[in-house]
């Protein structure tokens, strides 16, 4: 643990032990702010050992208990944003969001949320709902991690250079494989075949992973069931990609909206940037498309003056301690420096036609 993190935890501990944190959580200052929580995945198998964005199921349940113990009110996102602007938020207002729509949300997280009676927004990307196979980008990373004991990936089809399968080598190999697929404009099926060949190179049983639906999104029936159960399905682009130009970017949103409309009668009005990637022109695009908000992965509390198309969220990961999580519910980290967020690579595609 870094010295800065140690110092920060000591300070938060002090604020909590002295009662300052609890005092702040009951003030008008906190009541005028909204904390939006952001989750990506809750492990069904060994995902939490691979990626800190995946929480073990017990950790996710404990976080939801901490929300209840802190006396927070969990509101649907749309209501929370409306009330933020009307200055009528309840004490310690929280909204809960999940990104992407992986199967683990449906099977593990949703039953936990329902048991607490918490409303939830799911930013659902839809391409892999229809093509219900492993999502390419995360599966590349997962396979490399799974096959790391092989030591080296020597795969001339994709790269002349062999990669050592330690964490930096796995990252470099993942970048090369994703670049290979992008440059050749591989279709979903071709990327799936590439994943199968990668698994073969690494001695990992790909079909067994597919049978368990590892890193699959929900399928159309499961998405419709979530809509029926009151999950707020919102926009996250169809192909989990963003473009600089308005036409292509709005095309992604429109493809996504059309698919969402088949799962839920509620018109989606909120968006989440893929991989936290946003450009200065996006708020204008989203507003012109009739959307009311967009969330980022930058941490912070939302205030009435926050740009509604650049809403910060607390990205909850395994790196966050319970103390830090409780402190965010109270609002204290607002007064501490936060680490900048670096968007995931490969989210932004250049427009094929610069005039688009
Ligand atoms: Zn995403």
Residues whose CB falls within 8 Å of the CB of residue 201, separated by 6 or more in sequence, listed in order: 147, 153, 155
- Tens of pLDDT, residue by residue over 146-165, are 999 999 999 999 999 999 99
Cα(236) to centroid(ligand 1), Å: 7
Cα(210) to centroid(ligand 1), Å: 21
Q: How far apart are CA 31 and CA 297, in angstroms?
A: 22
Cα(237) to centroid(ligand 1), Å: 9
| 79 has a pLDDT exceeding 50 | yes
Helix, strand, coil percent content, the chain, rounded in steps of 5 = 50, 15, 40
Q: Model's pTM, two decimal places?
A: 0.95
Residue 163 near residue 172, CB atoms below 8 Å:
yes
| 302 has a pLDDT exceeding 90 | yes
Confidence at residue 352, expressed as pLDDT on a 0 to 100 scale: 54
Confidence at residue 38, expressed as pLDDT on a 0 to 100 scale: 98
- Tens of pLDDT, residue by residue over 280-296, are 999 999 999 999 999 99
Cα(13) to centroid(ligand 1), Å: 32
- Tens of pLDDT, residue by residue over 193-251, are 999 999 999 999 999 999 999 999 999 999 999 999 999 999 999 999 999 999 999 99
Cα(124) to centroid(ligand 1), Å: 8
Cα(54) to centroid(ligand 1), Å: 13
**In terms of pLDDT, which residue wins out, 337 or 59?**
59
Residues whose CB falls within 8 Å of the CB of residue 181, separated by 6 or more in sequence, listed in order: 136, 190, 191, 194
Mean pLDDT over each residue of the chain, to the nearest integer: 95
Confidence at residue 345, expressed as pLDDT on a 0 to 100 scale: 64
- Evaluate the CA torsion angle 35, 40, 43, 46 in order and state its sign: negative
pLDDT, average across residues 68-94 = 98
Confidence at residue 2, expressed as pLDDT on a 0 to 100 scale: 83
Cα(261) to centroid(ligand 1), Å: 19
Confidence at residue 266, expressed as pLDDT on a 0 to 100 scale: 94
Cα(99) to centroid(ligand 1), Å: 5
**Which value, in Å, is the radius of gyration of the alpha carbons in the chain?**
21
Cα(274) to centroid(ligand 1), Å: 5
Residues whose CB falls within 8 Å of the CB of residue 293, separated by 6 or more in sequence, listed in order: 77, 81, 269, 270, 271, 308, 309, 311
């Amino acid at each position: 643990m870094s010295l800065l993190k140690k110092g920060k935890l000591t300070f938060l501990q002090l604020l909590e032990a002295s009662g300052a944190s609890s005092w702040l959580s009951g003030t008008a200052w906190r009541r005028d702010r909204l904390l939006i929580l952001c989750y990506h995945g809750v492990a069904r198998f060994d995902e939490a050992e691979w990626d800190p964005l995946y929480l073990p199921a017990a950790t996710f349940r404990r976080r939801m208990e901490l929300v209840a113990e802190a006396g927070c009110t969990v509101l649907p996102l749309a209501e929370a944003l409306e009330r933020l602007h009307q200055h009528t938020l309840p004490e310690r207002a929280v909204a809960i969001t999940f990104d992407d729509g992986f199967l683990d949300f449906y099977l593990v997280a949703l039953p936990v949320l329902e048991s607490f009676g918490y409303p939830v927004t799911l930013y659902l990307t839809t391409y892999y709902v229809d093509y219900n196979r492993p999502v390419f980008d995360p599966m590349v990373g997962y396979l490399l991690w799974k096959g790391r004991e092989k030591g080296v990936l020597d795969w001339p089809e994709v790269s002349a250079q062999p990669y050592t399968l330690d964490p930096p080598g796995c990252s470099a190999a993942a970048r090369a494989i994703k670049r290979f697929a992008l440059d050749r404009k591989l279709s979903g099926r071709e990327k799936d075949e590439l994943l199968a060949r990668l698994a073969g190179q690494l001695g990992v049983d790909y079909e067994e992973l597919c049978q368990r639906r590892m890193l699959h999104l929900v399928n159309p029936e499961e998405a419709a069931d979530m809509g029926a159960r009151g999950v707020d399905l919102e926009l996250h682009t169809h192909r989990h990609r963003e473009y600089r130009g308005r036409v292509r970017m709005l095309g992604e949103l429109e493809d996504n909206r059309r698919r969402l409309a088949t799962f839920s009668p509620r018109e989606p009005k909120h968006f989440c940037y893929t991989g936290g990637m946003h450009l200065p022109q996006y708020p204008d695009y989203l507003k012109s498309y009739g959307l009311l908000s967009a969330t980022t992965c930058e941490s912070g509390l939302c205030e009435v003056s926050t740009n509604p198309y650049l809403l910060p969220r607390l990205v909850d990961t395994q790196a966050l301690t319970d103390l830090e999580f409780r402190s965010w519910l109270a609002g204290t980290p607002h007064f501490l420096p936060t680490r900048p967020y670096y968007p995931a690579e490969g989210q932004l595609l250049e427009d094929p036609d610069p005039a688009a």
